[in-house]
Amino acid sequence: MKFPRYLVAIVLTGALFIGACSHEGGGSIAVVDLGKIARETGQDEVIRQRAEEGQLVLNTQLQQLAAKLDADINAEREKAGLQPGMAPTQDDAPRFQQMNADARQQLMQAQQQAQQQAQQLQTDLVVEFRDALMPMASEIARQQGASVILSKDAYVFWAAEAADISDAVIAAWIAENGPSSAADPAASATAPAEEPAPAAEGAAE
């Protein structure tokens, strides 16, 4: 499964970014466009790639579980003297039907858990990026006399251009971290899509 950039943008939009500067008093408010910063620094692609790597691990685990469930059912069929494609006897049929139902249920629960873990991973990656931005964004805001930073993406309806420190944060990020090697979208466009994990064959019978 591939994570399109628009999914990363959605998570970024939902990431609240408020940094209170250390000095007291009624300072002004600065805003940042997290989506723009992620795109311009290449971090949206970094997040997408790392999320895909995590999804690949989860898919592999699902494939291994499906294979194990299938092997367990086949082992029981062999114990019952059943050849591939042979229907169980009337006495054994309920037992194998229950095994198949249990395998399907177990695989479905694993798939749901994997989906939740993948979503949590992407959220964690965005929070990690946001937290890495905080020190430099806070310093830039202090220099401009601001006491609060808000995320322009989701929490600001309108802001004067002078209040937007996104470009300064982008420049500070690149100066400190360098341009991201994942910033070139053409490189990732040619990457093969990950095939979804198959269901257990025995569970599908």
Tens-digit pLDDT profile for residues 139-178: 999 999 999 999 887 767 788 888 999 999 999 999 998 8
- pTM, two decimals, is 0.69
The answer to whether the CB of 32 falls within 8 A of the CB of 137 is yes
Q: How confident is the model at residue 3 (pLDDT cuts 50, 70, 90)?
A: low
Residue 34, pLDDT > 60, answer yes
Higher pLDDT: 155 or 125? It is 125
Residue 19, pLDDT > 90, answer no
Residue 195, pLDDT > 60, answer no
Distance separating alpha carbons of residues 23 and 33, to the nearest angstrom: 23
Domain ranges of the chain: 5-80+91-195
Structure tokens at 53: 């790597």
